[in-house]
Amino acid sequence: MSELSGGVESNEDAALRDAVAASMGRARADLAELVALRSVADPQIEPPEQCEQAAQWVARAFAEVGLGDVVAAPTADGSRAVHGCAPGPAGSPTVLLYSHYDVQPPLGEDAWETPIWELTERADGRWYGRGAADCKGNVVMHLTALRALKQVYGGSFPCGIKVICEGSEEQGTGGLEAFVPPNAELLRADAIVVADTGNFAVGVPTLTTILRGMAEVDVTLRALSSAMHSGMFGGPAPDPVAGLIQLLATLHDERGNTTVDGLDASGRWDGVEYAGEQFRSDANVLDGVALTGDGAVADMLWARPSATIVGIDVPSVIGSANAIQASARARVSLRVPPGTTGKAAQDALVAHLRARVPWGLRCELVRGGTGDPFAGALDGPAFEAMRGAMEQAFGRALARAGQGGSIPLCNVFADTYPEAEIMLLGVEEPKCLIHAPNESVDPGEIERTALAEALFLRRFGMTS
């Protein structure tokens, strides 16, 4: 029982808890079958048939748990979006459940300690394999929640259910973003649960309430028509590598705060606190290396802009010659919290760099991609139902966290369904190592999150 906003557990709630627990063997079998499908949505890496098989697997699974009209529909980028629906009682609200079945390529294959495409339980009790958490673990979480509801409610659901699972999220090619607006009625709902994030830590029920936006700019500095001997010309001849270093250094002050003109760097985060030692561990910061910035970790991570040099083109140390380079290039990635659009952030970054080019070097600035930040629901009947459900399922107070990564689909949902409450959750806590070698999921997170979702659907259905 929960003494929090979850309230006293009813007989139906207890039955859902038991049904979810009894389904965990099936959840592991489902996840094993999904992980075995190498559904990287890039034909240069894995055969397209793997994604097709994954789409068909997902469609069959959701049909089996009681959804009707389940279709693996083609999208503009060639991927398939699986969607289906089930009606609720007359007058009840409708919830759209989102996830994706494609996965990141298994980079660093030599670093994997278990088979990449085989779900493997290790001594720590976690289940390992590519996609075990991101995002096949969330697909299985949805299935487990719906399976429990079907069992407790005799094949029906306490509210209307719609599902959409995309097949190219990790590639960022926009298949589902293009699919949603012309199919708005197909997916329209009162609340949207985006299962592609996770808890702040194992066992801590967490809603991700903001996603940072992003903007990229490539900067090239040119000084000479060709590389020149550094002994003969070094000194008066401008060095574009040194100029680039000087220019990039203006993006931060001596304490590591991001200092892009026109971007507010004083924001404060009012959700969960992120202890410095925990962050150091999560981020693999070396002993003795200081964290950067003047704010708390959560401020720096979720409430303020951050500029990162994600790529730089200069000669490698090995094989380098005693020469002044003709040019140098870098890619700057900027993350921004809600309150600034990706385009506005990119404009500010371009203006900042252009104003600080040293020595009259020729400067070329090429704009890359942008993405707007997102802010999820913080109140409303769906939010309150979810808060109570998560606190009951986990037995502790709900936390609110942000996420540095962008999910452009959330903004498409917000624009298409402005009245819907959008909430982000999932099974992907820090130990999962998503996108990295040795990805894993804690099965307890699947069980607790599935129970929370089932309780939420019951509670929200009662608001009609």
Active site residues: 102, 169
Residue 117 φ then ψ, to 5°: -105, 25
**For residue 109, how many other CB atoms are within 10 A of its CB?**
9
Structure tokens, 21: 């627990």
CA–CA separation, 441 vs 121, rounded Å?
10
179 alpha-carbon distance from chain centroid? 20
Residues sharing a CB contact under 8 Å with residue 445, sequence separation 6 or more, in sequence order: 137, 198, 199, 202, 203, 427, 429
Structure-block tokens of residue 221: 């500095």
CB-CB neighbours of 100 under 10 Å:
30
Residue whose pair of structure tokens reads 């925990």 in the numeric block: 278
Pairing label, strands 323-324, 228-229: antiparallel
**Residues 259 and 250 sit within 8 Å (Cβ to Cβ):** yes
Q: Distance (Å, rounded) from C-alpha 123 to C-alpha 27?
A: 19
Burial of residue 343 (CB within 10 Å: 0-12, 13-18, 19+) is middle
Provide the 3-class DSSP secondary structure of residue 249.
Answer: helix
Cα-Cα-Cα-Cα dihedral sign, residues 132, 137, 138, 143: positive
Closest CA to 7 of 284, 456, 457, 389: 389
What is the rounded distance in angstroms from the CA atom of residue 301 to the CA atom of residue 393?
28
Give the closest residue to 364 by CA, choosing from 227, 254, 268, 220.
220
**If residue 31 lies in a helix (H) or strand (E), which one and from where to where?**
helix 24-35
Tally of CB atoms within 10 A around 268: 11
For the chain, the C-alpha Rg in angstroms (whole number) is: 24
Amino acid at 7: G
